[in-house]
Structure 1
Amino acid sequence: MIMNLLLIFLPISLLLEYVFKAPPLWVFFTATVAIIPLADWLRKATEQIAARAGPTIGGLLNVTFGNLAELIIAIFVLLQGNTTVVKAQITGSILGNALLGLGLAILIGSFGRTTQKFSRQNAGQLNSMLFLLVIALLIPALFDYTERLPGFTAGGEVLRQNLDEHLSLGVAIVLLVVYALNLIYTLVTHKDVFALEDEDHGHGDGPLWPVWRAWAVLIGGTALIALESELLSGALEATSSTLGLSPFFLGIIVLAVVGNFAEYIAGSYFARQGKIGLAINIAVGATIQVALFTAPLLVLISYFIGKPMNLVFSSPLELVAIVAVALTVTTVTKDGEATWFEGVMLLAVYLLLALAFFFVTPKAEGEKAGAMRPPAVNSTLSAA
């Protein structure tokens, strides 16, 4: 299997970093590729443990560990003080899961099928959570904008930043509470309403692993992803400079895709098997988990490690992109049917946003990010 072949990049990345002292670009590339199969093994181990725990506890385990690889990457980037990159990774994960992951699943699942049908009720619940996501991420940004009063002194700027951080902490706590209540709603009190049509997807097509093997893979995979994430975060700045790309772009596209790649594969696999409802649940559910669990958890973690991060996104385009996600996904899923062209539309929206993010210069990165723009863009701006 291709995923297992990619594991060769694990020892290669370690050799390049610790033995050959290779340029950061090569370390970044090999560590990035190594995380992809490790994340897939983490997903398999979680499913194996969840399959033995029953539907309620199993569902809780799946949503808890579903974004573990992405969370680990973000923590190590956060330790480097790159809060802008972490927030870009959050935005990129929301876009990648809802647009790239779901678009691929619908497109691949549509081969040989005119339409694919799924539960409108389940999709409606997911879409409602998407709009909560939009509101929760818009409020800190709008608050920051309203506090940018004319004639602000340096002391006033510090005060505004403190207010942003306090508001972000409050929002993070509210989101975590809502996320926990949503789990109770969907997994306990209304589990029959939101149960997927096919319940035998917990551990794939093969037999269950022994419990010790599942836990060993989960723990070992987590440790290896942490090791690779440390290499990746350490090489991030130098890699962005070498490639002429901003760390912001690497976070919103590269790191986000790497952290969620296993979910893209799983969603496409189930869609191909005719389980489009499960594929939608994976893609949109992962999007919701990033915004309502991973992002607020990272805000809390940032304070514990002394690298405080707020939920004010540096680029207005990020907020536009998040709104576009909610509108596009709701439009595609509201009728309970999916066709291949709707998959194409989701992918097109993702590519358009990726192009915009390639050229954008986040305000928080200042002149450094501007210096990393492609030469043609810089020359055009200078001429203007």
Structure 2
Amino acid sequence: MKWLLVLVPIAIALEHFAPGNDLLVFAVAAGGIVPLASIMAQATGSLATRLGPGLGGLLNATFGNAAELIIALAALRAGLHDMVKASLAGTIIGNILFVLGVAMVLGGTRHGDQSYDARAARTQATMLTLAVTALIIPAAYLAIVPQAQVQMTSMSALIAGIMLAVYVANVAFTLVRSRADAAAAAGQPGHGDLHHGPHWTPGKAMAVLCAVTVGIIWLSEILVGTVEAASEAMGFSDAFTGVFVLAVIGGAAEQATAIVAARHNRMDLSMSITLGASVQLALLVAPLLVLLSFFVGPHPMGLVFGPGLVLTILFAVIIAGQVASDGRADWLRGVQLLAVYLILATVFFFVPDAAG
């Protein structure tokens, strides 16, 4: 896959020398993100071997969501609030349904039944339920009291602050538990031999992660500049593009790592990445964007998601809670998750205003 790295400078060159060919620039930039995501998967896997699946998953989610945050900030500057919300919702449901589904299918067909830490997965699923509650309540309140539109900005800011505080508590809990799990596993035979790939030193792995993240951020900026024209050229609605195109591209880094981890029988790391990235998007990125919108863009962005987006996130979180209940994964569960994702994609494709 390394030969695809040639697409990175090509995308940068096309942005400057072929500004009118938006679909070509969009496609090349999206392709350039793929090898960068693969390198990020290798670096994160090397770090996860030393730090444990919990902390490794948190680290990967942080670096992986950097592209999503940059895409969203660029859209905020342009006042594309609906596109921001659609992309956030799409990445959350994509991680839970598509990425985890593919990981379970590939891991299950290769290793049969796979196990993971059900306690950690249930904790993440509970955090997602809390996040969905924070998204549903403002939308429900506005539906019941339409005249409360003026208060939505202040309400969104306060709820965003609460969500950020909960995320900080989640990170602290994860760090403490990761140290305890690492200490308990240190004496077990074979500990540290689960990583299939380059065994880099922590310093080298972090340097690679930082460099690759810069590349992904750069290409993400190019994507934002061409996404509307490319979407129109492909015949996609804005809702479908935000939920199922930008979301997949923005989350490519953690998606690649989660799938590779499952193929190497690291379902614990795969679950930590997919659920952890969704938690970070819902409890960190989304409220952070709400607060930043007071300073970026033409007007503040509320925390009120459209009913279609709220329902899709709710369905995905309910299924995630069921999957995370017993600490076991197999290929049939992966097929079930993918089926729900394809059903949602079909609906969004044929209903242009689904994001509203």
Normalised to the residue count of structure 2, the TM-score between the two structures is 0.87
Q: 1:225 to 1:113 in 2, by over 3 A?
A: closer
Residue 263 of structure 1: aligned partner: 254
1:97 paired residue number: 95
The correspondence for 1:176, drawn from 145, 149, 164, is 164
**Identity value in percent:** 40
- Aligned-residue offset at 1:282: 1.3
1:40-59 maps to which residues of 2 (within 5 A)?
Answer: 40-42=38-40, 44-45=42-43
Q: How many residues were matched structurally? A: 351
Alignment counterpart, residue 8 of structure 1, candidates 1, 6, 9: 6
User: What 5-or-longer segments of structure 1 have no aligned partner?
Assistant: 150-159, 366-384
My pick for the range that moved more, 220-229 or 140-149, is: 220-229
Answer whether contact 1:122 1:194 (CA < 8 A) is retained. no
Q: Quick check: 37-46 or 190-199, which moved more? A: 190-199
Counterpart CA distance in 2 for 1:227 and 1:128 is 34
Residue type matched to 1:80 in 2?
A
Q: 1:20 and 1:49 mapped to 2: Cα distance?
A: 39
Does residue 294 of structure 1 match 2:294? no
1:343 and 1:66 map into 2 onto residues whose CA distance is 22
Question: Which segment is superposed worse, 132-141 or 265-274?
Answer: 265-274
> Could you say if the C-alpha distance between residues 196 and 53 of structure 1 is closer, same or farther in structure 2, counting changes exceeding 3 Å?
closer
Q: How far, CA to CA, are the matches of 2:324 and 2:3 in structure 1?
A: 35
| Structure 2 contact 79–297 (Cα < 8 Å) conserved | no
Cα 1:226/1:265, change in 2 over 3 Å: closer
Corresponding residue of 1:167: 155
Name the amino acid aligned to 1:6. L
Note the C-alpha offset of 1:209.
4.3
Post-superposition offset of 1:306? 3.3
The residue type equivalent to 2:290 in the other structure is V
Equivalent AA in structure 2 for residue 29 of structure 1: A
Q: Which residue number corresponds to residue 31 of structure 1?
A: 29
One-letter amino acid of the counterpart of residue 107, structure 2: G
Which of 321, 343, 356 in structure 2 is aligned with 1:352? 343
Q: State which drifts further: 355-364 or 300-309.
A: 355-364
1:278 aligns with 269
Q: How does 1:153-302 map to 2 (within 5 A)?
A: 160-188=148-176, 191-192=179-180, 200=192, 205-209=197-201, 211=203, 213-214=204-205, 216-302=207-293
> Which residue identity does 2:199 align to in structure 1?
P
Q: CA offsets, 1:93-123, max 9 Å, x none?
A: 1111001111111111111444222222222
Distance change in 2, residues 1:176/1:166 (3 Å): same
Equivalent-residue separation in structure 1 for 2:70 and 2:291 (angstroms): 14
- Structure 2 letter corresponding to 1:28: F
**RMSD value, Cα:** 3.0
- Residues of 2 paired with 1:59 and 1:14: CA distance? 30
CA contact (8 A) 1:98 1:329 kept: yes
Cα distance change, pair 225–82 in 1 and its aligned pair in 2 (3 A):
same
Instruction: Show the counterpart of 1:313.
Output: 305
**Gap change, CA 1:303 and 1:171, over 3 Å in 2:** same
Contact in 1 for aligned 2:58/2:272 (Cα 8 Å): no
In 2, Cα distance between the equivalents of 1:199 and 1:283?
A: 23
Cα contact 1:299–1:309 (8 A) shared by 2: yes
Q: Do the aligned partners of 1:120 and 1:335 also contact (CA within 8 Å) in 2?
A: yes
Structure 1 contact 59–187 (Cα < 8 Å) conserved: no
Which of structures 1 and 2 has the larger relative contact order (alpha carbons within 8 angstroms, sep 6+)?
Answer: 2
Candidates 315, 320, 340, aligned match of 1:324: 315
73, 83, 86: which one aligns with 1:85: 83
Tell me, which stretches of 5 or more residues in structure 2 are unaligned? none
Contact 2:108 2:114 in 1 (8 A): yes
How far apart are the structure 2 equivalents of 1:45 and 1:202? Answer: 14
CA distance in 2, matches of 1:283, 1:201: 22
CA distance in 2, matches of 1:11, 1:339: 40
| Whole-angstrom distance in 2 between the partners of 1:22 and 1:202 | 47
**Mapped partners of 1:284, 1:196: distance in 2:** 23
Q: Equivalents in 2 of 1:30, 1:247: separation in Å?
A: 20
Runs of 4+ in 1 over 6 A off after TM superposition: 49-59, 193-199
- Confirm or deny: 8 A CA contact 1:236 1:247 kept in the other structure: no
Shift in alpha-carbon separation, 1:44–1:147, aligned structure 2, 3 A:
farther
Deviates more, 1:93-102 or 1:71-80: 71-80
Partner SS, residue 304 of structure 1: coil
Structure 2: which amino acid aligns with 1:340? Answer: W
Question: Helix, strand or coil for the counterpart of 1:187?
Answer: helix
- Deviations for 1:114-139, whole angstroms, at most 9, x for unmatched residues? 42222222222122112112211111
SS in 2 for 1:91: helix
